[in-house]
Amino acid sequence: MSNTARANILARLREPQRPECGFSERDYLSRYDWDTAERVRRFTERMVAVRAEVHHTTPETWLDVVSQVCAAKGLNNLLVSPETVLGKQLHAQAERFPTLKTYDHPIESWKQELFYGIDAAFTGTYGGIAETGTLIVMPSADEPRLMSLVPPVHIAVLEVAKLYTTFAEAVQAQGWVQAGMPTNALLISGPSKSADIEQTLAYGVHGPKELVVILV
């Protein structure tokens, strides 16, 4: 059925005379000329506007800040990859954090715990977007997709050096097409929310209710 359908649809689409309305050059790149400070300012402003927490830190202080955030939120545990550069640093000082959990088995073997027993997850990011206040997250074997989705709190580290002005600029500068797309790539701009009830914003619908960004 599907093959006949395919052939029929494509044949119908080939039939009409099609107008040439393509364009040869695409020029979508940012017209913004923001320096680092301005990018950080805009990113923070946008993130805070959608109720995310943003902490400005340095390579020396970020671990302290993460630890303070965990304490302030009274987290019982924190899901952290033991393999990533950042994750290793947390694991190395495990005593300063809530119980550190690792996502080292396929979801099927510990779904129950992930869905109902994990308070928060810590991940790195692939970059950020200043214009919209956005984290670029590319889940991997070390930091699987559900880490940034299922636990009620998501703590993410963003290196200021990877903060681009716009989405278009990030795609180009990071060479997304050349590198090939990962199975899943995400833009995350704040905690999960909905306005489906009377246009009133409510947070934490299906994803994290809280998003904490650690800018380094």
Partner 1 sequence: MSSEFRNTVRANLAKPEVRANFYRAMDGLMTRRLDQFPDKAELERLRTQSMAIRANALSKLPELLETLEANLTRNGIQVHWAETTDQANQIVLSILQKHNAKSIIKGKSMVSEEMGLNHFLEALGIEALESDLGEFIIQLDHEAPSHIIMPAIHKNRIQIAKLFHEKFPDIPYTEDVDELTQTARRILRDKFYAAPVGLSGVNFMVAETGTLCLVENEGNGRMSTTAPSVHIAVTGIEKVVESLSDVPPLLSILTRSATGQPITTYFNMISGPRKPGEKDGPEEVHLVLLDNGRSNIYSDPELLATLRCIRCGACINHCPVYVRIGGHSYGTVYPGPIGSILEPQKAGLDVHGELAQASTLCGACSEVCPVRIPIPSILNRLRYDGVRRDTANTNTVGSGKRRTLSEAATWKTWAWAATHPTIYHAGSTLATRFKGMLPTNLGAWTTVRSAPKLAESTLHQQAKNLGVDHE
Window 54 to 113, contacts with partner 1 (CB under 8 A): 103-108, 111-112
Pattern 168-207, binding to partner 1, x per CB under 8 A?
x--xx---xx--xxxxxxxxxxxxxxxxxxxxx-xxxxxx
Q: In what helix (H) or strand (E) does residue 173 lie, and over which residues does it extend?
A: helix 167-173
3-state secondary structure of 49: helix
Decide: is 161 part of the binding site for partner 1 (CB under 8 A).
no
Q: Minimum distance between the CB of residue 184 and partner 1, rounded to whole angstroms?
A: 6
Contact flag: residue 32 with partner 1 (CB under 8 A): no
**Which member of 15, 35, 60, 95 binds partner 1 (CB under 8 A)?**
15
Query: C-beta of 54: minimal distance to partner 1 in Å?
Result: 15
Tokens of residue 21, six digits: 């309305």
**How far is Cα 94 from Cα 89, in angstroms, rounded to an integer?**
9
Q: Which of 32, 56, 146, 159 binds partner 1 (CB under 8 A)?
A: 146
Q: CB of residue 63 vs partner 1: minimum separation in angstroms? A: 25
Note every long-range contact of 95-103, with CB atoms under 8 Å and residues 24 or more positions apart, other chains counting: 96/63, 96/67, 97/66, 97/67, 97/70, 98/70, 101/77, 103/79, 103/143, 103/144, 103/146, 103/147
